[in-house]
Amino acid sequence: MRLEWERPGVLRVTTHAYEFATLVAAARHVSEHTPDELPEEALDQLRQVLAEYDEQARRLHGRERTASKE
């Protein structure tokens, strides 16, 4: 895993797919199974990040299918 500052407040993260999948799985577990242990604002932010991840993963998967058909 590698973290670099892209600009103030923005990180560039380079990971193997399994490393990132582990982080996403942990975030899902927390948001779905222990929501009472987080402040409401943090839980809302976590759910928003997961929703954005899901959207981008669908977009990426769609591109990969299109690219492999060409």
* Rounded CA separation 24/22 (Å): 5
DSSP-derived 3-state class of residue 9: coil
Check: pTM over 0.85? Answer yes or no.
no
**Which range of residues forms the domain containing residue 20?**
2-69
Beta-bridge partners for 10: 7
Q: What is the pLDDT of residue 70?
A: 47
User: Helices 40-69 and 17-33 meet at what angle, rounded to 10?
Assistant: 140
Provide the number of structural domains found in the chain: 1
- Which stretches in the chain have pLDDT values below 50? 68, 70
Task: Give the per-residue pLDDT at 35.
Answer: 83
- Measured CA to CA, the distance from residue 62 to residue 68 in angstroms comes to 10
